[in-house]
Structure 1
Amino acid sequence: MGSGWESLTLVLLAPLFLICMVLEYRLLRKRGDDDYSLKELLCNFSLAGLHQASDIIATLLLMPFFLWLYQFRVFEISLTPLSIISVFILQDFFYYWFHRASHNVHWLWASHIAHHSSERMNFTTAFRQSLTYPLSGMWLFWTPLMLLGYPPTFVIVVVALNLGFQFFVHTRIVGKLGWFEHIFNTPSHHRVHHARNSEYIDRNFAGVLIIWDKLFGTFVEERNDINIDYGIPHAINSWNPFVATFHQWKTLFTLAFSPDKTSISHRLTYLFGAPKISDDTIRNKASRSSTRQN
């Protein structure tokens, strides 16, 4: 979910983002590490633009619903230092569950996979977002905040600031940060999250605070003896932002509405079950096809 407020917040942060990307690029080049690709840069920026446009449109359409929902708020919450701190913590808590669900519910993963489909890890990867988040229902995870009594526009700004913070964890040039690692999400923690190594899959879902992963058993520390392999199990091999956006939706609907699926429960499993179920189906079909050809 986003809005003009979210876009304005991210625009204000844009100069800082640009400085970080330039410094990262120069440092990587100095190391002889070719982690920047012009084609991927254009793809990532295109995805960011499409994502922002879809968020603005979605919020214009959804704002009447948010305001309607807000009238049923439990508390009258005014903007005080305490309420500002509390909404940041609560929104981050709900973000953790949105992010964790996005790796375990195929309908949500169809949107989120665009962010993970890069095989590089640099600041531009943070811009790799999907325009289909409003369709998959990311905004539903913020509605409890409105029911509690936080004004919808304030919630939107907090969401934007949370996402803005996450830009800074998408890099390989920053090592571990001492005591900061115990409380906050860091580049080290987030490198683990973007890895497809078996030791790291579906770990470290934090937005700002890593404490949620530690509380709910999804935390894994980055290890020096593991060389991280970034990306998704089945690489998309394309710089086309629309391929990055829609390839998993195509898989989802193809499997869920295949003629050989006669059971409603089977169809619902492919739509809302774990993404691994679909991956296993694709792998089994490919294996059977290869066997027949041999």
Structure 2
Amino acid sequence: MPNFPNIILYAIPFFILAMLLELYVTTKQHIKTYQTKDAFTSIAMGLGNVILGFASKILVVFVFFLIYDNFRIFTIPVVWWSFVLLFFADDLAYYWFHRVSHECRLFWASHVVHHSSEYYNLSTALRQTWSGGFYTFIFWLWLPLLGFHPAMILLQMSVSLLYQFWIHTEAIQKMPKWFEAVFNTPSHHRVHHGSNPIYLDRNHAGILIIWDKLFRTFQEELDYEKVTYGLVTNIKSYNLLKIAFKEWWQLLIDASGKRMSVKHRILYLFKPPGWKHDGSGKVSNDLRKEWLKNNTNL
């Protein structure tokens, strides 16, 4: 078992210093990115994620080793070039996890937590799910199956998570063009956190933005369309339990409604957020098409 450090724990002091620096810079720029209750809520959700993460990590490690020890196709050595391969493989896995988390309500129920803040700052990066760690790892199961050692996979997943911290800011407008073309940036990720119809379910990248361009989910940040952060219908609460589990409760209510077929009950789990069995709902693609129809300047 390779002995890799838990880089997330080592990064906690950096997170704190970075948030203080961002607060100073944005205040000097007269940009109001922080609201006290919202920021402390995000930090509290992050701490809850870390605590529950100890339990979910046991499950993830067990399943990864079960596949690696019994079903792996190859044995990929722990050397420099395998980390290069893993970098791209992990980033692709993250893209599809992230995309499905927006297009399938079963996964949105946990991921919605990260989008529940109406502010966009480094503390928002810490607003993480309390439930997703117990099942979203399925998008990475093909990596131990290929033959990547579980310790390598967990390390690379942490690297990806660390990278995504710094892009949750309004203090940085644009990176150099070559960087914007290849990597996920604050500008690209601001789009992802937007509730504007044109921005919904776009830019699912982890580290590389190339997957969004390849699979046609990329949307550039528009000068004339300022990002409105949060959800289409915001939670409007600082209650941690409500933020963590409200969507799960609403999903249960929708799927257990009266006069509904078994098929429709199941579809509530797998259809996108906003879908209704009676056709009365609107999903993000519907909202996006309406926006495009009313805005001819694109």
TM-score (norm 1): 0.90
User: Structure 2 vs 1, CA of residues 151 and 194 (structure 1 numbering), >3 Å: closer, same or farther?
Assistant: same
* Aligned equivalent of 1:45: 43
The reply on whether 1:264 has 2:247 as its aligned counterpart is no
Amino acid at match of 2:244: T
* Aligned equivalent of 2:75: 76
Q: 1:175 aligns with which of 173, 176, 179?
A: 173
After TM superposition, the structure 1 = structure 2 runs for residues 72-221 of structure 1, keeping only pairs within 5 Å, are: 72-135=71-134, 137-178=135-176, 179-221=178-220
- The 3-state SS of whatever aligns with 2:245 is helix
Checking the alignment, whether the CA contact within 8 Å between 1:39 and 1:239 is kept in structure 2 is yes
- Deviation at 1:188? 0.5
- Where does structure 1 lack aligned partners over 5 or more consecutive residues? 284-294
Partner deviation per Cα, 1:197-218 (whole Å, 9 max, x = no partner)? 1111111000000000010001
269-278 vs 30-39, greater mean Cα deviation: 30-39
Checking the alignment, whether the CA contact within 8 Å between 1:145 and 1:155 is kept in structure 2 is yes
User: Structure 2 vs 1, CA of residues 258 and 90 (structure 1 numbering), >3 Å: closer, same or farther?
Assistant: same
Checking the alignment, whether the CA contact within 8 Å between 2:33 and 2:170 is kept in structure 1 is no
Amino acid at match of 2:204: F
- Deviation at 1:40? 1.3
- The 3-state SS of whatever aligns with 1:275 is coil
Amino acid at match of 1:254: I
What's the RMSD between the two structures over aligned residues?
1.9
* Aligned equivalent of 1:273: 271
- Deviation at 1:48? 0.7
Query: How many residues are aligned here?
Result: 277
Partner deviation per Cα, 1:258-292 (whole Å, 9 max, x = no partner)? 2332x111001111111120597579xxxxxxxxx
- The 3-state SS of whatever aligns with 1:277 is coil
* Aligned equivalent of 1:58: 56
- Deviation at 1:23? 1.2
Q: Structure 2: how far apart are the matches of 1:5 and 1:83?
A: 15
The reply on whether 1:253 has 2:247 as its aligned counterpart is no
Partner deviation per Cα, 1:14-43 (whole Å, 9 max, x = no partner)? 222222211110122223333212211221
Checking the alignment, whether the CA contact within 8 Å between 2:45 and 2:126 is kept in structure 1 is yes
- The 3-state SS of whatever aligns with 1:12 is helix
Amino acid at match of 2:240: P
Q: Structure 2: how far apart are the matches of 1:277 and 1:146?
A: 35
Checking the alignment, whether the CA contact within 8 Å between 2:105 and 2:270 is kept in structure 1 is yes
Q: Structure 2: how far apart are the matches of 1:47 and 1:139?
A: 19
TM-score (norm 2): 0.88
- The 3-state SS of whatever aligns with 2:59 is helix
* Aligned equivalent of 2:17: 19
- The 3-state SS of whatever aligns with 1:237 is coil
* Aligned equivalent of 1:233: 232
161-170 vs 12-21, greater mean Cα deviation: 12-21
